[in-house]
Amino acid sequence: MQQTRQAARQRRRRRRLMVGTTTGLVVTGLLVCLAMSMQPDRKEDAGRAPATTVANSQETDPSALPEKKKSPTPSPSKVSASPSAGAKKPKASASPSGTPSSTSPGKTFTTSSLAGRIRDKVTYPGVATVYKAGVGDGACSYGPSGDMMIAAMNTTDYETSKACGAYILVRAADGASVTVRITNECPLPCAPGQLDLSEQAFAKLAPVSTGRIAIAWSLVSPSSSGTISIRYKNGSSPYWCGVQAIGHRNPLARLEVSTGGGWRQLTRTDYNYFLSPDGSGCGKAIRLTDIYGEQLTINGIALRPDVVQSTGVQFARH
């Protein structure tokens, strides 16, 4: 009887434990659910990540992207060269330039290598200004001029008097033109390509009051220019002399004098005389060479200072 009672008590104890365990599990589950419901939403945190990071982490299939268009590159054979100024006269430009216009490949100058900056068959852009030329004398030391269609060449193109005596055809943008002879130098600020025209010459292109115009100019070989003359400088003697050629049709490249050992080339000055500092060749035969290579030998010129002596010869026209 007593054993029966003990067994009944043990059964009741096991039921209480089972109920408590079940209740505890239920309560624990409720607490876990409650705790999870109170945590921040993880999807929301993921959405706050920097967009660059997300983008960088993605792999993109290159074939899915639109193809970039390459900028068109012209074929070298289709690139057209600018027309050469030597083959075609350019329009006059207000910005002066002393650089000779280039010519197309295969075209050659008739001017020999004796020419300086000013060459045949080349058109030079520049500007024309105006000055009071007085009697027409200037840096070239020619003295008074009977023809006032004259001009002063900028220092760069004057080139230590190589431009002296050159005949220049000057054209304005409207088509007006005038031919002038270089008798003077236009110092700085005259720019390369610039011509300073006498008032009489400038008036052939535009009113003198204009003062400055765009031009294009080129070397010419005039049809009539008389004959060449020779003058010895003041102070010349058998021991020192300066020699000058006047009235040559084409620019002068060299002046030589005859000596016991042959021909001696004299040094040119910026005032357009050729000097023999030791008197060698003074009063002897003179040989002139123009920029085309033509040579004229002149005899019989006496050593008479500051006297213009005619030679009766002239360079050929080009």
Predicted confidence pLDDT, tens digits, the chain (318 residues): 445 555 556 565 555 544 444 444 444 444 444 444 444 443 333 333 333 323 333 333 333 333 333 333 333 232 222 323 333 333 333 333 333 333 332 333 344 579 999 999 999 999 999 999 999 999 999 999 999 999 999 999 999 999 999 999 999 999 999 999 999 999 999 999 999 999 999 999 999 999 999 999 999 999 987 999 999 999 999 999 999 999 999 999 999 999 988 999 999 999 999 999 999 999 999 999 999 999 999 999 999 999 999 999 999 999
Amino acid present at 242: G
* pLDDT value at residue 66: 33
- Residue 295, H or E segment: strand 295-298
Between CA 238 and CA 184 the distance in angstroms is 29
Compute how many other C-beta atoms are within 10 angstroms of the C-beta atom of residue 200. 17
Compute how many other C-beta atoms are within 10 angstroms of the C-beta atom of residue 294. 16
Q: Do 123 and 89 form a contact (C-beta atoms < 8 A)?
A: yes
107-130 as b/e, with b when 16 or more CB fall inside 10 Å?
eebebeebbbbbbbbbbbbbbbbb
Between CA 197 and CA 186 the distance in angstroms is 10
Q: Which two tokens stand for residue 108?
A: 């050659």
Q: Do 82 and 104 form a contact (C-beta atoms < 8 A)?
A: no
DSSP structural state of residue 94 = S
List Cβ neighbours of 38 (8 Å cut-off, separation of 6 or more). none
- Residue 22, H or E segment: helix 2-38
Q: What is the largest CA-CA distance in the chain?
A: 179
Q: How many residues are present in the chain?
A: 318
Helical residues (DSSP H) of 40-110, grouped into ranges? 42-47, 51-57
List Cβ neighbours of 279 (8 Å cut-off, separation of 6 or more). 237, 238, 239, 240, 241
Amino acid present at 282: C
Q: Do 312 and 130 form a contact (C-beta atoms < 8 A)?
A: no
Exposed, middle or buried: residue 163 (CB in 10 Å: 0-12, 13-18, 19+)? buried
Angle at 300 between CA 296 and CA 306, to 5 degrees: 95
CA distances from 139 to 27, 136, 148, 282 (A): 121, 10, 15, 23
* pLDDT value at residue 7: 54
Q: Do 101 and 124 form a contact (C-beta atoms < 8 A)?
A: yes
Between CA 138 and CA 149 the distance in angstroms is 13
* pLDDT value at residue 10: 58
* pLDDT value at residue 225: 76
* pLDDT value at residue 5: 53
